[in-house]
Amino acid sequence: MSDPAAAGWFQIERLPAAIATLLFAAVLFFFLRQARRGRPLFIRRIAGLEAVEEAVGRATEMGRPILYCAGLDPMEEVATVASINILGQVARKAGEYGTRLIMPNRDPIVMTVAQEVVRDAYAAVGRSDHYDSNDIYYTTQSQFGYAAAVCGVMLRERTATHFFIGHFYAEALVLAETGNSTGAIQIAGTDSDSQLPFFICACDYTLIGEELYAGSVYLSREPLLLGALKGQDAAKAVILAILVLGSLLGLFGVEAGRWLGGGGAP
């Protein structure tokens, strides 16, 4: 059993988590319904995503390929899911312009999904003939082996546009600096806040944290995805209100964290 100390069908100490999950799901469903009903939902301008078309166009003009890195995390991670969504949009643009898209991968499952996404994207714009599965390949599981492979692609293939979209670790600076030294236009997006400073230093545009998750929504404007994004924002507003209330109560010596199942500050 997961927790021998608990009895019955429900672990009562996890009740706050269950309530929070249900509440969040309810908020999400509300905004999904709003989206299904066709209500317009506002999403602010994100500079990095506005630049995608320009970046792909630049590679086309120069006659050089695009490099796309989906990060180092496996397919089950949210950042990778978001990256593959954006890849679909980038691949569409690349297909429209007839520009080659190269994507080295660290994870074989991500590689498999990416191959299908890119193939479908090319097919959607009537450029199935342009798809080459050899350009979306597996390199190695090793972190810096992957970084070395990507740097090799940048220098040998002379890629004009780089996308670093996903979750990255220490190799981020190696990738971004090498790319910067080649003069390529670079768009990065990561929820890995330890690597954000390096991308901001070395890349032309950077999507920070949740802007990455908003990326595919922003580019596709798909109503259901937009509704889910608004639901997240609403939930964040609720959490913000709870934080402010909890801080005010804390000023008066009331440890509100205990009501939510927390132990209070050590």
Partner 1 sequence: MKRTGPILLGFVVGMLMLVQFFTPNPWIAARYNNVLDWKQVVFGVTLILGVLSLLLHHGRRIRRRVAGWSYSGVTVAGLIVMILAGAVFGKERGPYPWLFAYVQSPMQSTLFALLAFYVASASYRAFRARSLHAGLLLAAGVIVMLGRVPLGEMIGFTVAGRFYSLATLSDLVLTVPNLAAKRGIMIGVGLGMTATAIKIILGIERTYLGKGA
Partner 2 sequence: MARGAWSARLAQGDRRILFLAVAATVAFPLLWPLNLPIRVSREARAFHAEIEGVEPGRVILLSFDYEPDTMAELDPMSLAVLRHAFRRGVRVLVMTTYAGGVGIAERVLAQAAAENGRTYGTDYAFLGYNPDFSATILRMGESLRGAYPTDHYGHPTGELSLLQGVDRYADIPLVVTISSSALSEYWVIWAGGKYHARIVAGNTAIQAVLIYPFLQTGQLAGMLGGLKGAAEYERLIGRDGAGVRGMDAQSLAHFLIVLFILLGNLGFLLQRRAARAREASP
Q: Where do contacts with partner 2 occur on this chain (CB under 8 A)?
A: 2-4, 76, 141-144, 169-170, 192-194, 263, 265-266
Decide whether 21 or 128 has the Cβ nearer to partner 1: 21
Give the three-state DSSP class for 35: helix
Task: For partner 2, give the closer residue by CB, 57 or 261.
Answer: 261
Alpha-helical (H) ranges within the chain are: 15-36, 47-62, 78-97, 108-124, 143-157, 171-181, 196-202, 210-220, 223-251
Whole-Å CA distances, 199 to 53, 145, 159: 20, 20, 18
What's the closest the beta carbon of residue 88 comes to partner 1, in angstroms?
Answer: 5
265 binding partner (options partner 2, partner 1, none; Cβ < 5 to 8 Å by kind): partner 2
Count how many residues are written for the chain. Answer: 266
- Residue 63 partner contact from partner 1, partner 2, none using kind-dependent CB cut-offs of 5 to 8 Å: none
Distance (Å, rounded) from C-alpha 78 to C-alpha 163? Answer: 17
Nearest to 89 by CA among 38, 61, 49: 49
Select the binding partner of residue 266 from partner 1, partner 2, none (C-beta < 5 to 8 A, by kind): partner 2
Q: How far is the CB of 194 from partner 2 (least distance, A)?
A: 5
Of 128 and 142, CB closest to partner 2: 142
- Choose from partner 2, partner 1, none: what does 22 bind? Cβ within 5-8 Å by kind: none
Alpha-carbon distance of 138 to 107, in angstroms, equals 7
101 binds, among partner 1, partner 2, none (CB under 5 to 8 A by kind): none
Q: How far is the CB of 263 from partner 1 (least distance, A)?
A: 17
The SS3 assignment for 250 reads: helix
- CB of 56 or CB of 230, closer to partner 1: 230
Tell the smallest beta-carbon distance from residue 252 to partner 1 (Å): 21
Binding partner of 159, given partner 2, partner 1, none, CB within 5-8 angstroms per partner class? none
Return phi, psi of residue 136, to 5°: -120, 100
CA angle 60, 64, 69 (to 5 degrees): 100
Q: Which CB sits closer to partner 1, 174 or 256?
A: 174
Smallest separation, CB 164 to partner 1 (Å):
14
Amino acid identity of 11? Q
Nearer to partner 2, 161 or 192 (CB): 192
Cβ 169 to partner 2, closest distance in Å? 5
**Sheet harboring 185-190: ordered strands across?**
136-138, 101-105, 66-71, 161-167, 185-190, 205-208
Q: Using CA atoms, how far apart are residues 257 and 95, in angstroms rounded to an integer?
A: 52
